[in-house]
Amino acid sequence: MSIEVGTITEGTVSGITNFGAFINLPGNVVGLVHISEVADAYVKDVKDYLKEQDKIMVKVINVDPQGKIGLSIKQVKAIAPDQAAVAGPAARVDRPAARAVAAPVGGRPASPPPRSAGFSSPRSAAPESFEDKLSKFIKESDQKLTEIRRSTDAKRGGRGTGRS
């Protein structure tokens, strides 16, 4: 099997480092999955997602002139099921090896992204109108500006000691 950019294949984790994981590919070829290509979420430690001898699906994302092969796990998970049929049987995401990568080792689920203050949840009872959102925004920004003015006036010595 030739290793070309875009190829999706199954490999075995042969080693884990602090910057990624080495994967044995068919044909006795070794590639590297960089820590940034392990999962969509922030990966602090590769060992939370992979362990040695795991069989995983990887996509070849680059091959440099020295023969180093860059691999990605998260790009394999991004393939839609209808595209997997076109890419071949090795690209199917519903295989057990691909599902094993989806959940971190140890059963710890990935944490959801943090919510920003001021946004309503999509499950709220009634959606706010634009005018309601705008008036809420203006009210909150006026309050913040008032707090900022108070803190800066206190640092300058109050209202009576303005600059001349």
- Residue pair 69/60 in contact (Cβ under 8 Å)? The answer is yes
Residue 71: the pLDDT is 94
Residue 163: the pLDDT is 58
Q: Is the pLDDT of residue 15 over 90?
A: yes
Longest dimension (CA), the chain: 81
- Residue pair 32/69 in contact (Cβ under 8 Å)? The answer is yes
Q: Give the pLDDT confidence of 66-78 residue by residue, as tens digits.
A: 989 999 999 988 7
The first and second tokens of residue 28, run together, are: 């006795």
Q: Can you tell me the distance from the alpha carbon of 83 to that of 76, in angstroms, rounded to the nearest whole number?
A: 11
For the chain, what is the total number of helices (H) and then of strands (E)?
A: 4, 5
Residue 61: the pLDDT is 94
Q: Which residue has the higher pLDDT, 159 or 127?
A: 127
pLDDT, averaged across the chain: 76
Confidence band of 58 (pLDDT split at 50, 70, 90): very high
Any idea how long the chain is? 164
Q: Can you tell me the distance from the alpha carbon of 133 to that of 139, in angstroms, rounded to the nearest whole number?
A: 10
Residue 20, Cβ density class (10 Å: 0-12 exposed, 13-18 middle, ≥19 buried): buried
Question: Residue 136, Cα to own-chain centre: how many angstroms?
Answer: 32
Q: Give the pLDDT confidence of 87-137 residue by residue, as tens digits.
A: 444 443 443 343 344 444 444 455 555 555 555 545 545 678 888 888 899
